[in-house]
Amino acid sequence: PAFVKLQKTEGGSAEDVADQYVLESDEECTVEETTIGEGEYAAIWVSYAEGTADTERTCDIYVFRYNDVLYTVQMDCTAGEYEKIGQAEQMILSALRFDEG
C-alpha cells in the first residue's frame, strides 16, 4: 500500500525539479519550503492526491541538494493509509543522513 524511493535527480535546481513534478502531476499540489534530516537539508515539498477516496493515491515528494547532487525522496500511499504512513514518513525523513566518507 506504500513505498518510499530515494534517487538522484537531474535538474538545475530543487525549485525547477519541484515545478516539473507539479506540471506532470496534473493535480492540485501543495508546494512548500521545508527541511529534512533534523533540519540539515533544505528541501522543497510537493504534495498531491489523486482523489479523496480511501483507495486513491497520495504522493509526497521532497527535492533537495546535498553537495552538488540533487535528490528526490518520493513517498506514495493510498489516501486511507496517509495519516498512519505520514507518521512513519516523518520519522524516515528526520533520520536521513549522508555519510561524508
Strand pairing of 2-9 and 29-36? Answer: unpaired
Give start and end residues of each alpha helix (H) in 1-101: 14-25, 82-94
CA distance 95 to 79: 24
User: Does 100 score more than 70 pLDDT?
Assistant: no
Residue 2 has, within 13 A of its CA and on its CB side, a CA count of: 18
User: Does 61 score more than 80 pLDDT?
Assistant: yes
pLDDT class of 22 with cuts at 50, 70, 90: very high
- The model carries a pTM of 0.87
4 beta partners: 75
CA distance 65 to 1: 28
Grid coordinates representing 87? 507518521
Q: What does the mean pLDDT of the chain come to? A: 87
